[in-house]
Amino acid sequence: MNRRLGYAAVLALSLAPMLLVSPASAQRRGPAPQQPTEPQQRQTAKPEQNFPLGASWSAISLNGKPIRDRKATLQVDANLRGTGFSGCNTFSASAYPLREQGFAVGPVALTKRSCDKAAQDFERAYLIALRAARNWELVAGRLVIKGGGGELQFDRGI
């Protein structure tokens, strides 16, 4: 233990002259070179939006394709529970609006209604896009949810 303290003291004493700077030595060195300053670009950050909790939304497009012959809905309540209709079944999942327009959807619970193949294919694509959601934004009164599974656009429901 004493040997360790001795080594620490020797190290501290050997570094002390390097750390101490007298005004005379600072003047001999001259002013510190300044780094070239680049004009700082102001990034205009989008104002933080609040997710519209409690609003009902009807899907109008999936991955850029309009939804005409199907119905799909989404509502996120104040308890952060996302519910809706996915084209064949009703669903429920935890839905978390996050900072900086982030969005996360937990595992989906789904009813087990039997539907035709086209309705099942649409439902699968809709739920994959919803489950993989990462971001949301409001654009011209429409809710847009984007993620690894695609993009969903919603209009306000009644």
Q: Which residues contact residue 145 at a Cβ distance below 8 angstroms, ignoring those fewer than 6 apart?
A: 103, 129, 130, 133, 135, 136, 151, 152, 153, 154
Looking at residue 9, its pLDDT comes to: 54
- For the stretch 92-115, pLDDT in tens is 999 988 888 899 999 999 999 999
Residue 147 pLDDT exceeds 70 = yes
Looking at residue 6, its pLDDT comes to: 57
3-state DSSP assignment of residue 120:
helix
Looking at residue 50, its pLDDT comes to: 83
Residue 2 pLDDT exceeds 80 = no
The proportion of the chain whose per-residue pLDDT surpasses 90, expressed as a percent, equals 54
CA dihedral 84, 47, 104, 132 (to 10 degrees): 80
Q: pTM for this structure?
A: 0.67
State the Cα angle at 26 between 25 and 27, rounded to 5°. 90
Q: Which residues contact residue 100 at a Cβ distance below 8 angstroms, ignoring those fewer than 6 apart?
A: 48
- For the stretch 112-130, pLDDT in tens is 999 999 999 999 999 999 9
Structure-token match 């990462």, residue found: 134
Q: How far apart are CA 130 and CA 45, in angstroms?
A: 26
Mean pLDDT of 52-81: 92
Tokens of 68: 């005409």
Q: Which residues contact residue 51 at a Cβ distance below 8 angstroms, ignoring those fewer than 6 apart?
A: 76, 97, 103, 136
Residue 75 pLDDT exceeds 60 = yes
Residue 59 pLDDT exceeds 60 = yes
Residue 66, strand partner residues: 61
- For the stretch 6-33, pLDDT in tens is 555 554 555 444 444 444 544 555 555 5
